[in-house]
Structure 1
Amino acid sequence: MKFLIGYDIAGNRARSRVAKYLEGKAYRIQYSVFLFDGTEREAQEIRAALLALTEAEEGRALFMAPMCEACSARIWKVGKMKEEAEVFIVA
């Protein structure tokens, strides 16, 4: 199952820790938005880690939304996403 993950964290240190953690677990769509493809148990582990990484942050905002296959197939986007591969031809 796919999960859309997002955050809004004012503190630079906590924000950097969360971004680095999520970069190892999910596909970065925008600076603070990720798409994770995994099990519900893995999603629970990510939620627990995000809470632990941000527990000292006042005003943190975290979200994780499950997406069924039909919903993820209907994702609409325009432009290049943050981690989309760029193709270079070297001759």
Structure 2
Amino acid sequence: MNCTTTHWTNKYQMIFVPFTAIDHHKKSVTVGAGLLSNETIESYCWLLKAFLKAHGKQPTIVLTDQDPAIKQAVQLVTGDLIKNTDFRKRFNKLVWDMFK
């Protein structure tokens, strides 16, 4: 049990935003993270733009929770990425190929 993380998160009221990717071994790897003082569209846009600037390319798939601010920020920053109609097929292939 790790109470320290919860303690520090609550003490400073910061939102931890991890960026996770799948490596060539089909393992989850944290490739970046950010701390935000609030959960606004502007904050998420700033963080996403900084992440994209550091990595130089857009991701092919973005998965988030149901927070409306994240959803709007992803759509604003990445454009049509969130409207990808092929998402379900690609995501299912990614998930099920990992178990082969």
Q: With structure 1 as the length reference, what TM-score do the two structures score? A: 0.27
Q: Which has the higher contact order (CA 8 A, sep 6+)?
A: 1
Greater strand proportion? 1
Structure with bigger gyration radius: 2
Greater helix proportion? 2
